[in-house]
Structure 1
Amino acid sequence: MLDKLEMFVALAREGHFGRAAESLNIAQPTLSGGIKQLEDQLGVQLVHRGSRYGGLTPEGQSALTWAKRILRDTKHLRDEMRMGHKGLSGEVRIAVIPTAQTWAARLCSAFSNKHPNVRFTLLSRTSREILQMLDDFEVDAGISYLENEPMGRVDTAPLYEESYTVVCAQSSPFAQNTHMKWADLNDAPLALLTPDMQNRRIIDQLLAQNGVTARPCIESNSTIALVANVAAGNCMTILPKDMAEFLTVGKNLALVQLEGSVSKHPVGLVLPHRDPRSPVLAALLTEAKILTKPD
């Protein structure tokens, strides 16, 4: 039945028989037949059918929650059984806010050095999407802001606190400074993340607190796109210091630290609060705590 549950979850996720079959690398008739067999086994109709996928029935919505939970628990059982003779192994899916990708790399690298049989899939998502994906069992963990959004029942391990840096061209009048005030950005042409990103909402709040009228000339959901536009044009961007340093290496750009009285915004590992926790996720939580211990 597990393969049928995987087909059902894929169909609910993709909302299309063809795309769901493609995501599982199977033929569409195989997927359609598997869904029908699952319905026969459960004795209910799970999917509205017509000329195309018509969504889940009420019974299908209920079954979807169970299917995701069963697949998650099966994965954890498999990982735990393997641990006895192979050590930790398996795959960990982590959804990460765009501004925390460098920290995701640090965590995965440190973990892989100790547990080389564990592989990672990293997905760039907004903070709200991360919480939803955790609830829907679509990812195993997240790296996101630990405040501002309602977090629900989760376990967390703080990794760092954001401090903010202006990225500008060397020709900018700010480029020769090591520090600048938020108020200096009033009416400056800015490249910022899109409003659905929590980082953007934080930046907007900080600008407003310092009496700055934001004038974004470019918006993007990619930090790479922001820095590329700064390098190519006359705008500036505001990024967390760690990400700014990583993206500007070898480029003709300047980094200017923003100073002033601003609230801290902790970012860290987020795991669903579930008992028991799989050995892999328990080890990941431990590694996140080790990563931030003082030397």
Structure 2
Amino acid sequence: MLLRQLEYLVVLSRERHFARAAQACYVSQPALSEAIRKLEEDLDVPLVRRGRKYEGLTPEGERVVAWAQRILADRDAMKSEVTALRTGLSGTLRIGSVPTASGAVAQLTSPLCTAHPLVTVEVTADLRAVDVVRQVQNFELDAGITYLHRELPDSVRAIPLYEERYVLLADASEGFGPSAEQTSVGWAEAARLPLCLLNPAMQGRQVLDEVFAEAGLEAAPRVETDSVAALFAHVRTGRWAGVVPHTWLHVFGVPHGMRALPMAEPAHTMPMGLIVAAREPGSVLARALTDVARRTDVRAALERVPDGSY
């Protein structure tokens, strides 16, 4: 059995198409098909359901893919660690985050890259929470930043980073939104405003819907988006208000002519953290990021707003 055969099978399970898998592996389709057929012969089990086109993996194929992902991740981790012993830490660290946490990623990548100049970082933002966990489990990501309020599988471990809380962004002019004297705003008052929120598929929106529901309310946004940046852009026009994580004020500040008021009645926070695969010795890059996370006060950093208006 060759590692290359395992790579082909993993890519095929991801692409779900022989031609696309071959293209991703930079080989011909017959070469990829023959390598997987030889792997089936070596293991003496069918791995792929074949018809006129790719029809999925057999149950045995699903289990072999899980083992293959682990074996290939261990190979990559071994190579990275040996290289680090010889020349220092290098390679590409893959991080994924839910949309509301992507502003926190830089709080970790900056000190990591300072400490390890040969390391590069690939950030995938705007992932769903379930996809962050799944991709860390499948070794498609080295680490992720996501919500910690629900139980995580035993295959990952978490390092708490900060508590996400929420603010209302609204036009500061009289007659729109909270009065000038208010220092906070209730969820019931926010629900009556023309809102721009994340779309319901995003866990950040699901969290807000849960808080509204706890207060006996239902948000009816006029605009929905899967991007926090797009949300800010809409709110900045002055036609909509938005409920956003306080961490994004650290990135964008409070737009000119807008106010940011803490959401209260009830106050609500969500634990956020870094997750990595729970395996030993594991990825040397993931261990380096974990060390940075434990040394960095992400919570304090995210409290600072660029223009100081919050």
Query: Normalising by structure 2, what TM-score?
Result: 0.85
1:141 to 132, 140, 143: 143
Is the alpha carbon distance of 1:243 and 1:30 closer, same or farther for their aligned partners in structure 2, counting shifts above 3 Å? farther
Name the amino acid aligned to 1:11: L
Match of 2:93 in 1: 92
Structure 2 residue 65 is the aligned partner of structure 1 residue 64: yes
How far residue 187 of structure 1 moved from its aligned partner, in angstroms, is 2.4
Greater shift, 177-186 or 128-137, is seen at 177-186
In structure 1, the partner of 2:217 is 212
Alignment-derived partner of residue 306 in structure 2:
none
**Could you say what secondary structure the match of 2:139 adopts?**
coil
Structure 1: stretches of 5+ with no match in the other structure = none
1:12 alignment partner in structure 2? 13
Match of 1:283 among 288, 291, 295: 288
Measure how far apart 1:179 and its partner are.
2.9
Are the equivalent residues in 2 in contact too, given 1:79–1:90 (CA < 8 A)? yes
Matched, 1:174 2:175: no
Q: Give the one of 180, 189, 193 matched to 1:184.
A: 189
Shift of 1:146: 1.1
**One of 142, 155, 158 as aligned partner of 2:157:** 155
- In structure 2, relative to structure 1, the CA distance for the partners of 1:145 and 1:212 (3 Å cut) is same
| Aligned pair partner of 1:264 in 261, 269, 275 | 269
SS of the aligned residue for 1:91 comes to strand
Q: 1:60 & 1:173 partners in 2: Cα distance? A: 56
The farther-off stretch of 36-45 and 266-275 is 36-45
- Distance in structure 1 (CA, Å) of the matches to 2:22 and 2:275: 31
Once residues 92 and 187 of structure 1 are traced to their aligned partners in structure 2, the CA distance between those partners, rounded to angstroms, is 43
> What code does the residue aligned with 2:212 have?
L
1:114-164, Cα deviation, whole Å (9 max, x unpaired)? 0122222222311112222222222221101111x2312232211111121
Q: Distance in 2 between matches of 1:26 and 1:232?
A: 50
In structure 1, the partner of 2:45 is: 44
Aligned match for 1:292, one of 269, 294, 297 = 297
CA deviation string 1:14-41 (max 9, x = no partner) = 1112222333344433333332333333
Contact 2:165 2:268 in 1 (8 A): no
Paired residue for 2:308?
none
Q: Quickly say closer, same or farther: Cα 1:25–1:178, change in 2 above 3 A.
A: farther
Q: Which letter does structure 2 place at the counterpart of 1:202?
A: V
- Which one of 232, 244, 248 corresponds to residue 239 of structure 1? 244
**1:195 counterpart SS class:** coil
**Deviates further, 68-77 or 29-38:** 29-38
Counterpart contact for 2:166–2:269, Cα < 8 Å: no
Aligned residue in 1 for 2:128: 126
Q: Are the equivalent residues in 2 in contact too, given 1:168–1:175 (CA < 8 A)?
A: no
Contact 2:83 2:90 in 1 (8 A): yes
The amino acid of 1:38's aligned partner reads L
In structure 2, do the counterparts of structure 1 residues 245 and 105 end up closer, same or farther at CA, with 3 Å as the change threshold? closer
Q: CA RMSD in A?
A: 2.4
CA distance in 1, matches of 2:39, 2:257: 58
Distance 1:141 1:183 in 2: 37
SS of alignment partner, residue 164 of structure 1: strand
Query: What is the rounded CA distance, in whole Å, between the counterparts of 1:49 and 1:77 in structure 2?
Result: 35
Distance 1:90 1:212, change over 3 A: same
Task: Output the CA distance in 1 between the equivalents of 2:110 and 2:86.
Answer: 23
Post-superposition offset of 1:189: 2.0
Taking the aligned partners of 2:161 and 2:43, their CA distance within structure 1 comes to 44
> Quick one: which amino acid aligns to residue 63 of structure 1?
V
Report the TM-score, using the length of structure 1 for normalisation. 0.89
Residues in 2 aligned to 1:132 and 1:44: alpha-carbon distance in whole angstroms: 26
Listed as ranges, the gaps of 5+ residues in structure 2 are: 302-310
- Tell me how far 1:251 sits from its aligned partner: 5.5
Q: Give the counterpart letter for 1:174 in structure 2.
A: P
Equivalent residue, structure 1, for 2:32: 31
Q: CA deviation at 1:175?
A: 7.7
For this pair of structures, how many residues does the alignment match?
294
Give distance in 2, aligned partners of 1:32 and 1:249.
55
